[in-house]
Structure 1
Amino acid sequence: MIVIDDVIVSDAVVDEQFVCDLNHCKGGCCVDGDAGAPLTDEELDLINHFVDLVKPYLTDEGRAVIEAQGHYVYDREFGWVTPTIAHKMCAYGYVDAQGIVKCGIEKAYNDGLISWRKPLSCHLFPIRTKASHDGKHEYVNYEPRQDLCKAACSLGKKLKVPVYVFLKDALTRKYGAAFYEVLDKIAKEYKR
């Protein structure tokens, strides 16, 4: 494990390789799971602020779920999460012309309509973070879905891209550039 300040990073984050392969998984991480995407308290405010700009990118079913359930829902295990369509696809998702599930929030961001890219939990996937029981540390673990992410694991190995490198933007967004620089330095020394 790698410890940087109060963050404990699993060795797998630097040892394993991963590159999303949307042509194979079809964005299945936006569909498969026990609940919608976990949200931070700050993200609850962001959804409330940007939801009307995001709605045009969503499916009719997604908009209907958001209208019926709210912009987010509470899950006993994960806390505040995005609502889902029939306990499957995230209500903020849509399916593109290639049959790939994509994020309506991210589409609005890419089109320059909003300043928030997407939920951090989505941006970090397949990394999951969790606070320690005493709240003093945060664990950073690599948790790809065994079947769903098989192609991404293979592509990562083929291209030799470590998980932490693939997720540089997301890790920097969460912990800052200085954290990422330290992680990168440790990972490179660790590989020697």
Structure 2
Amino acid sequence: MIAVENVLISNEVVEAQFVCDLVKCKGGCCEEGDAGAPLEDSELDLMIELFEKVKPYLTKESLAEIERKGKYVYHREFGWVTPTLGNDNEICVYGIRDSKGIIKCAFEQAYNDGVIGWKKPISCHFFPIIQKNGRNGDFDRMNYEPREELCKPACGLGKKLKVPAYQFLKEPIIRKYGEDFYQALDKVAKDYFAKQED
């Protein structure tokens, strides 16, 4: 484990190479899983506040499911999560398929279009890093957990391009912890690589 400030980071975050390959995986992380996307408490009000602006991006099926379940739901294991269509392992209600069959986030699409200023839940932005906030003064944790089959193309592309996971996920890391934290992590990673070469 690597410690930076109040965060424990698994070595794989630095060692593993990863770059999303949406053409191959089709954004499958938005529909493959045990529940919807985990939400931080601070994101719950945002889901409600931004909903009307995101609504035009959603399918009729998603809107019906949100009407039935709510804009977010409580999961016994994962806490607050986004609802999914039907069972827990189906597509997130905020997922939209484009003409090529790639699932995109309605919030992210609205963000890219300049409609809203919030990109998407931080848990989605971090994937394949699973980030958990510490409780009662404990350290936060960041673990590298790609899906075995689904993320094979991303792992392959990461190795081809030689991009460590933490560099690919620079934006969400800075979004969550700030620029200084990322620079500290980058220095630790480079020192780590230097030692490996010795």
Give TM class, smaller chain.
Answer: over 0.9
In the alignment, what sits opposite 1:146?
Answer: 148
In structure 2, the residue matched to 1:38 is 38
Aligned letter for 1:138?
Answer: D
Task: Show CA shifts across 1:93-129 (max 9, x none).
Answer: 1100110011001001111111110000000000001
**Residue in 2 that maps onto 1:159:** 161
Q: How does 1:16-165 map to 2 (within 5 A)?
A: 16-87=16-87, 88-132=90-134, 135-165=137-167
1:65-114 Cα shifts (integer Å, max 9, x gaps): 11111000000111000000012000001100110011001001111111
Q: Give the AA of the match of 2:171.
A: D
Residue identity in the other structure for 2:179: A
For 1:125 and 1:99, the matched residues in 2 are separated by 20
List gaps (5 residues or longer) in structure 2.
none
Over residues 34-67 of structure 1, what are the superposed CA-to-partner deviations in whole Å (9 max), with x where a residue is unaligned? 1000001111010110001111111111111111
Tell me how far 1:130 sits from its aligned partner.
2.3
Note the alpha carbon deviations across 1:144-187, whole angstroms, 9 max, x for none.
00000000000000000000000000110011111000000110
Q: Show structure 1 runs of 5+ residues with no match.
A: none
Name the residue aligned to 1:175. 177
**CA–CA separation in structure 1 for the residues paired with 2:133 and 2:47:** 23
> Partner amino acid for 1:51?
F
Encode CA deviations 1:4-48: one digit per residue, 9 max, x unaligned.
Answer: 121001100000000000111100000000100000111101011
SS at match of 1:94: strand
Mapped partners of 2:137, 2:160: distance in 1:
38
TM-score, normalising length from structure 2?
0.94
Q: What is the number of residues matched between the two proteins? A: 192
